[in-house]
Structure formats: C-alpha cells, structure tokens
Amino acid sequence: MQKEIISSSTPWYKTRVSSTLGIEYPIIQGPLGGLSTQRLTAIVSNFGGLGSFGAHGLSPSGIKDVISEIRELTTKPFAINLWVSTEDEGARASGKEEFVRSLKHLAGHIEALGGTLPDHKPYVPVRFEDQVRVLLDAKIPIFSFIAGIPPKEILDECRTRGILTIGTATTAAEAMVLDQAGVSVIVASGFEAGGHRGSFLLPAEDSLTGTFSLTPQVVDAVSAPVVAAGGIADARGIVAAFALGAEGVQIGTAFLVSEDSGASVHHRNALLSRKAQRTSLTKGFTGRLARGVHNQLIEELNRPGVDILPYPLQRMLVRSLVVPAEKAGRTELLQLWAGQSASLVQQSDAKTLLRTLISETTAVADPVVDWNRERRCKRSR
C-alpha cells in the first residue's frame, strides 16, 4: 500500500477543486474587499491559479466596470466575491445621536491629523440583489461569497448560466448548509484568516474555529470539494491543508503583501515588520468582527464601553480617520488587515509568490495528497 501511494502519478494539484473550477493549480488568491485589484486578479488567473476580486463595497456599475477590466487582462477563470448580508441589525435605525457617540472615540485623532470631522449623513444601503444581478448578466466564470447563502433562485440562475459558485464556511454546520444548497466548492475559513469572519449561522464570536480543526471537520461533513483558508502563507501551510483533506487553498494575506494588491505602502511595510507577529480581532474597524495587525487603533476601539456602530456604518465612520492617517503615514491609526501568518510572508510580487508556492509544494506534497485520495475512496466505498 505504501508503495502504491508513493508511486502515484497524479500530481498534488490535480484535485476536484482544480477540475471543477477549470484551473491548473488549486490556489485561490482570496478576495480582498477594498484592496483587490484587477491586475492582481488577472496575474493569479493567468498563472493558473484563481484570482478573486472582492467587490462587496462597489456599486453595481462599479462592479460592471471591474468585470470588463479583468476580462481585458485575462481569458482564464476568475471569481468576483460579494457579501450576501450587507448590513447588520440596527444599521437602518441608527441615527445622528449614535453617530456622534461613536465619532467621539475617533475625533481627537482626526483633529490632530488635520482631518475634517465627518457630518452625519443618511445611510444609503448597498443591495446584494443589485450587485449580484451584474454578475449574473455578465456571466462571470465564478461567483464567490461570504456572510450567508444567496437565495435559491440566484443559485439556480448561476447553474443555468454556467456560473460556478464558491461559498465560505466558518463552521462545519455552515459548510453543511452550503453543501445542501449545491455550491460548487466550499472554503473552510479558519479564524487565523485576515479580514472579516463571514459567519452566518452563529455570531462570528462563536465561530472561531482554527483552520487545523475546521478543515477536516468540513471535509468529513460535505460532498463538495473543500478549500482551506486562514494562516496559509507558504508551502508548509499548503501541504498541511492538503494533509487535512483540503483539495485547494485560499490565501489572502500573502497576496496582500505583494506589490500587485491595493494595500498601501504603509500597510505592506507594517505586514513585513515585526509588528505583524501580533494580530487581533476587532469589531471597531467596521462593526463586524475582523482581524488586523494589533495597533493603537484596535486597542482603543476594543476597550470596554466604546460605542461601535452597526456594520457598515462603523466602516464609513472609521474611514474619516484612516484617510488622514494614511496621508500622515501613521500606521498605529490604520486598519492593517492581516491574518495570523502575516509574519511568515516575504516581500515579492504575486507571480514570484505563486512560483515559489508551487515549486516548494511540489517537492513534498504528492504522498500526502495520495494518502487522502485513498482515504476518500475508502470512505465512499
């Protein structure tokens, strides 16, 4: 049996994730909502991975433009990512009084940086239904999403139009409902991951399973192929994810560091510094739980008694600090989105990162992957 495993001729990257998505390498550049670029998406797709563009903050016409621009840069499959749930309870009822209360925690910094204190403006919600309509009409190759499951009619329409779907789970229970809904691929997102927790069954605070525990639980619970996300930054992480039964990986932070992402120089330098060894979860950046490099801003906003507006109002409010802080290069007051493995990441461009990940993984992965293939076969017998 050992001999048979080692002598298999199927390389590690030929998995159900690569065949389902029509890509060569089952490495997904995770969507980076707000910091995605058309260029990064296309570089990864052209290389044979899957480039994803995080479009949740864009208007329908903005999304339409992004799709055309990506199509000018690549003919390979790419994904556009949306958030199914676009606001938290209380966002519509929240008024000037709440705004002023939350602003007071940031006002001192904004004024010290010479910024203008924002006025309260009525909230204009972004509608998922309008955003997704653009993806459907444009017949994009792959629609990925977090923070819920799109209504059945939308998933049916994806199937009719030949659009593949990638759903994101932060618990095994979420993975099971995504599987029942018939998504093509499931991302198991461990709590090491940078950016937001896209939890949708339980509150994000109660959905903090790490990638090492979550991935095999999800693999055992669903029939769709599973992609592991969270804390994967080099070939060791990829091999470990495959050993846990994943058939692909989704990497965010390592691509964020690459000069092809939309992260600012200050953000990228912070990720490459020792500061990145400590990350924390906070609701203070946007109103939803998210991970970033631990800094003064997180510390202040995580203090008990600080008033945080419901998502997405807090996101808009914090922007009025981030813009002047960015100009002044004050990293301690920025939203330094990052996953727990940020300090493993080296400076490189996206192509070099992919080349290194693939060659180093190839050196060790095949026996591990074959062992899991064997295991899956036995399970389905």
Ligand X SMILES: Cc1cc2nc3c(=O)[nH]c(=O)nc-3n(C[C@H](O)[C@H](O)[C@H](O)COP(=O)(O)O)c2cc1C
Tell me the closest approach of the beta carbon of residue 108 to ligand X, in angstroms: 26
- Nearest residue to ligand X, scored by beta-carbon proximity: 252
Amino acid letter, 58 = L
From 270, 230, 272, select the one nearest 252 (Cα to Cα).
230
> Considering the rule CB under 6 A, would residue 146 count as an interface residue with ligand X?
yes
- Measured distance CA(128)–CA(298) in Å, rounded: 29
- With respect to ligand X, which residue has the nearer C-beta, 39 or 103? 39
Size (the chain), residues: 381
Residue 157 identity: E
**Contact status, residue 43 vs residue 11, Cβ threshold 8 Å:** no
Closest CA to 271 of 328, 341, 330, 326: 341
Based on the shown chain and the rule CB under 6 A, indicate whether residue 357 belongs to the binding site for ligand X: no
How many CB atoms sit inside 10 A of residue 313's CB?
23
Contacts of 141 (CB under 8 A, 6+ apart): 22, 77, 78, 79, 163, 164
How far is the CA of 179 from the CAs of 286, 329, 360, in angstroms?
A: 29, 44, 32
Rule CB under 6 A: say whether 193 interacts with ligand X.
Answer: yes
Q: Which of 247, 213, 204, 237 is nearest to 364 (CA)?
A: 237
| 225 near ligand X (CB under 6 A) | no
Which of 33, 51, 216, 248 forms a contact with ligand X (CB under 6 A)? 33
Site map (CB under 6 A) of ligand X, residues 79-98, x = contact: --x-----------------
Please choose, out of 69-77, 305-313, 334-342, 362-370, the segment that lies near ligand X by the rule CB under 6 A: 334-342
Do residues 23 and 50 make contact, with C-beta atoms less than 8 angstroms apart?
yes
Site membership for ligand X, residue 150 (CB under 6 A): no
Q: How far is the CB of 256 from ligand X (least distance, A)?
A: 5
Q: From the list 27, 35, 281, 321, which residue makes contact with ligand X (rule: CB under 6 A)?
A: 35
User: What would the x/- binding string for ligand X be over residues 51 to 80, using CB under 6 A?
Assistant: ---x-x------------------------
The single residue among 94, 250, 286, 372 that binds ligand X, judged by CB under 6 A, is 250
CB nearer to ligand X: pick between 47 and 337: 337
Distance CA 185, CA 356 (A): 25
194 binds ligand X (CB under 6 A): yes
Query: Residue 322 CB, nearest distance to ligand X (Å)?
Result: 13
H-type alpha helices, 288-337: 296-301, 313-327
Task: Pick the closest to residue 362 from 235, 244, 247, 265 (CA basis).
Answer: 235
Contact call for residue 195 and ligand X (CB under 6 A): yes
* Number of chain positions touching ligand X (CB under 6 A): 28
Answer yes or no whether residue 45 interacts with ligand X by CB under 6 A.
Answer: no
Question: Going by C-beta distance under 8 Å and a sequence separation of 6 or more, which residues neighbour residue 26?
Answer: 13, 15, 17, 18, 49, 227, 247, 248, 249
Query: From the list 15, 170, 189, 331, which residue makes contact with ligand X (rule: CB under 6 A)?
Result: 189
Tokens 């591990």 found at: 368
Q: Please tell me whether residue 31 binds ligand X under the rule CB under 6 A.
A: yes
- Interface with ligand X, residue 231, by CB under 6 A: yes
Which window, 8-16, 104-112, 229-237, 309-317, contacts ligand X (CB under 6 A)?
Answer: 229-237
The residues of the shown chain that bind ligand X, judged by CB under 6 A, are: 30-33, 35, 54, 56, 81, 146, 168, 189, 192-195, 198, 229-232, 250-253, 256, 337, 339, 341
